[in-house]
A = this chain, B = another copy of it.
Amino acid sequence: KYRQMPRSVGGLDAAHEWGAFRAMLPDLQGQRVLDLGCGFGWHCRYARQQGAASVVGVDISEKMLARAREMTEDPAIQYIQAAIEDIDFPAESFDVAISSLAIHYVERFDLVCRAVRQCLTVGGAFVLSVEHPTFTAVATQNWSLGPSGERLHWPVDDYQQETIRHTQWLAPDVVKYHRTFATYLNTLIDEGFQISRLSEAPVTAEDIAQNPGLKDDRRRPTFLLIAAVKDTLP
């Protein structure tokens, strides 16, 4: 089913947060890029189009990697099957680390940050997107509906409870990890990153013109995007 989603068929341009994510990336020219949760490899190929020297895409799903390899003819892109939090690359082997909509599937964000910091150069950027904490709080991940099915508002509950959420997203039981906004940012800071930019990927008029179904995404925050840099301090 994931393969049938607009972003799987149409690539990055079909994902409404892509414009905001792209704007947070540093210049990739000549950079060694790591993509955590690379899926079909869209971001890996984009990085090379932008002049990245090399890209490593990591994903836990061998199926997704098989499809990524099918779609990629570029010896400078390497795909590796691993859990994001288990990566173990040599120190300072990457200049930029990115992760698009993968980390809310990972239980230990602290381990992800530690692993990224270990393999990133000092001053290197870590740019990530996750489902927004306001979006992951309630497991149903759906609008509160009125009697005629109209979208009344977005419900928030159990916000401070940072535990598993059993959601139904393309599959009957997809486990996600709800974390608060404070936890995302404090974990990055504690693991030696400096916060450089935030985005909640506001939907633009242009987005809505292209995809009218996005108009309600102005009413709630759907995605959280964070750009951080590896701190110069030890």
> How many interface residues does A have (CB within 8 Å)?
33
Establish whether residues A181 and B221, one from each chain, have CB atoms under 8 Å apart when the complex forms. yes
When the two chains form their complex, are residues B155 and A155 in contact, meaning their CB atoms are under 8 A apart? yes
* Shortest Cβ distance from residue A218 to the other chain B in the assembled complex, whole angstroms: 5
Q: Is the CB of A155 within 8 A of B144?
A: yes
The answer to whether A156 touches B158, judged by C-beta atoms less than 8 angstroms apart, is no
Question: Is B200 a contact of A181 with CB atoms below 8 Å?
Answer: yes
Residues in B neighbouring A152, C-beta threshold 8 A: 144, 155, 157
How far is B156's CA from A157's CA once the two chains are assembled, in angstroms? 11
Residues of B within 8 A of A198 (CB): 181-182, 185-186
In the complex, whether A105 has a CB less than 8 A from a CB of chain B is: no
Binds B, one of A50-58, A61-69, A188-196: A188-196
| Chain A at the B interface: SS class | mixed
Max chain B Cβ within 10 angstroms of own Cβ: one of A157, A197, A202? A157
* A220 on the B face (CB < 8 A): yes
**A196 cross-chain contacts in B, Cβ below 8 A:** 189
Q: How many copies does the complex hold?
A: 2
Tell whether, in the assembled complex, residue B200 and residue A189 are in contact, meaning their CB atoms are under 8 Å apart. no
A81 is an interface residue with CB less than 8 A from chain B: no
CA–CA, A156 to B196, complex, Å? 27
Residue pairs across A and B with Cβ atoms less than 8 A apart, 28 shown, are A134-B156, A134-B159, A138-B153, A144-B144, A144-B155, A152-B155, A152-B157, A153-B156, A153-B157, A154-B155, A156-B156, A156-B221, A157-B219, A157-B220, A158-B218, A159-B200, A159-B221, A160-B200, A160-B202, A180-B200, A180-B221, A181-B198, A181-B200, A181-B221, A182-B198, A185-B185, A186-B197, A189-B196
A contact set with B: CB distance below 8 Å: 134, 138, 144, 152-161, 180-182, 185-186, 189, 194-200, 202-203, 218-221, 224
